[in-house]
A = this chain, B = another copy of it.
């Protein structure tokens, strides 16, 4: 299965796995001491960075599964989202539910995106 590409391996996981034209990855805020607005903004920015790294873009996004530790933050998330989201014609599907996360983390996103080629 040499056709699998993996980026950013640590001891427990890869940051990104690409298989058959689809990249998958998980984002949490690089700075988990920040407040929820900052953590959400960080995660959205980090998604852009990862999309660049895999030669994709926000127009290639397929699916986001979002975990918030408090759904009351979803209004604020949507404000940040609306500034970040791809232009019409390129929107992904999105599910957002509440779940406890590892200590410090206030948001976690599981992302799928198409990669060219």
Contacts and interface: CB of A to CB of B under 8 A. Distances in A.
Contacts of A81: 12
Interface in A1-41: 1, 3-4, 6, 9-17, 19-22, 24-26
A63 B24 contact: yes
Given A12-B94, A114-B4, A99 B102 contact: no
A37 to B, nearest CB: 18
Interface string A26-62: 1000000000000000000000000000001001101
Interface footprint category on A: 35 or more
A100 B102 contact: no
Nearest to A3: B114
